[in-house]
Chains A and B, each alone.
Chain A
Amino acid sequence: MEVTDVLVDWSRAQFALTALYHWLFVPLTLGLTFIVAIMESIYVRTGDIWWKNTTKFWMGILAINFAIGLATGIIMEFEFGTNWSNYSWIVGDIFGAPLAIEGLMAFFMESTFFAVMFFGWNKVSKEMHLLSTWLVAIGSNLSALWILIANGWMQHPVGMHFNPDSARNEMENFWEVIFNPNAVSKFLHTVSSGYVLASLFVMGISAWYLLKKRDVLFAKRSIIVSASFGLVTSLFLLTTGDESAYSVAQTQPMKLAAMEGLYRGENRAGIIAMGLLNSEKKVGDDSEVFHFKVEIPSALSFLGYHDLNAFVPGIEDMLYGNANKGVMSIRQKMQEGKIAVKALRAYKDAKKIGDELKAKEALKLFESHHHYMGYGYLEKPEDAIPNVALSFYSFHIMVGLGTWFLVLFAVVLFWTRRNTIGSKRWLLWAMVGTIPLGYVAQETGWIVAEVGRQPWAIQDLLPVGMATSNVASTSVMITFWLFAILFTSLLIAEIKIMLTQIKIGPEGEH
């Protein structure tokens, strides 16, 4: 049985489905834990019982989200073992350490202090309870740190050495893996996006109370905290986004080019503020890339290289090579990759017959070409190009929505300070309507990160086709639909329980 394109596509679709659904639950937990901790801090500082009630209400919403989302990520681990066994084996040693730390921290920090947070009201001191709430917030975010370190490594593999005997990557430098620039920027950008989502969520639901003219004090207080937290974290999100783009430009230039629909590289490259891609456009032809576009001159050069005049390579520069700018073609990389694969084969065969001299020579050749090994598995150079339309639109939707959120937080804070927020019904409706947009921004962000790096499971080293297990595609199809049903049921349950709780409101029982 061969690994077919159908199998690879279904395996990818299943992983994407799981990750996208999982990511509906996680960012709200990441941000809401901090919002709840801030609210409880105000309660402990002021002794105002209203802040305690406000904290308890949002803690209830957090509990619903946590309970429904709990363990949805475990399915990805099942998938690693079944559908992505080649990949799991090859990355095993690198993923092992961060994921083990994540498991231990999540268990000890989150589980222990979650119990104190929910059961500990009136049983432990105010200060101890507050400490637990903060530790839950920090613990949840630290869990995300280890997962994103693992993801960052896939996008920019560092600190490791490929062992040709075990066929595994072995960690050489733990700190290099931890402080991988791609992982650090990814972590900061991802968690801050969670803070923004949680702020939008709290703000939107509070706006609904104001529209209904009920629980007004609770709603206004929640808006003050969430809009302030949202504004600060949105500004932080902006800077981490900049850092993330810089990191992508250095390590994944093809992804950056796809995100911007940049086919031909240029100095002083601009960012497309908005544009409509020409769907007929093919790599290498002379047709226009966009039907229309609004461009900010030099902004991409600055974003990617912190230099307004920098050259940003386009898809065609990387595909065909650009000697003047020192860009190597994909075809050259494929040749390098094929040498690496052939040398690995020669090493394996030499070891099998005990020819140490031949094995040593083959290993030397393999190590000098290993960094392009993944290209050796591509059938044609065009396979190295990700889906441009999906990357471009996802990126621009994410950035556009992020800008809208920043403006919304600022406007809401302005009217809140004037104490007239309750009378601005258009603004209140905008706050309610922005809740789903927060989720759209989250998901499009992941699409940019994961679709943009295709065809790689591990950047430049392992394409997804080689990472896939040789299992029956029908089995993957069945589980895809099983998960679709399971996750959709969980999502419906979450929305239903949350809506019931929101209708009961902070005055009701928790």
Chain B
Amino acid sequence: MMKVMHIIKKILSFYKEGFASMRLGRRLWLIIVIKFIILFGIIKCFYFPNYLEDNFDNDTQRSYYILEQLTKE
């Protein structure tokens, strides 16, 4: 258990030191964070609902709807 904790600590400190020593990387991470906020916080939430997930309760209804679409006259 102690050994596992030691490995986890080493991994965490590897990432921590890596992030701390970044120069250009900090600006890139900022861009990534802003981008993720725009993508998931705004665009996904407000503009991209999952059509079938949101309009039907279960897969049977979804299958039926698609079959209706494929076979409508």
Contact = CB atoms under 8 A, between A and B. Distances in A.
Given A118-B25, A167-B67, A81 B48 contact: yes
Q: Is the interface of B mostly helix, strand, loop or mixed?
A: helix
A490 B25 CA distance: 16
B17 interface: yes
Interface in B8-35: 14-15, 17-19, 21, 23-25, 27-29, 31-32, 35
Interface stretch (A63-71, A272-280, A432-440): A63-71
Contacts of B21: 119
A497 interface: yes
Contacts, number: 108
Interface residues of B, number: 36
Contacts of A469: 51
Contacts of A71: 32, 35-36, 39
Contact of A79 (B17, B31, B48): B48
Contacts of B69: 86, 466
B51 to A, nearest CB: 4
A89 B44 contact: no
B57 interface: no
B31 A341 contact: no
A381 interface: no
A63 B19 CA distance: 13
Interface in B52-68: 52-53, 59, 62-63, 66-67
Interface residues of A, number: 48
A479 B43 contact: yes
Contacts of B71: 341, 344-345, 348
A165 B66 CA distance: 10
B70 interface: yes
Interface of B: 14-15, 17-19, 21, 23-25, 27-29, 31-32, 35-36, 38-39, 43-44, 47-53, 59, 62-63, 66-67, 69-71, 73
B63 A341 contact: no
Contacts of B19: 119
A348 B72 CA distance: 11
Contacts of A509: 23-24
Interface string A475-510: 100110011001000100100010001000000011
A78 interface: yes
A60 interface: yes
Contacts of B36: 71
A484 B12 CA distance: 38
A67 B28 contact: yes
A45 B62 CA distance: 58
B27 A497 contact: yes
A90 B66 contact: yes
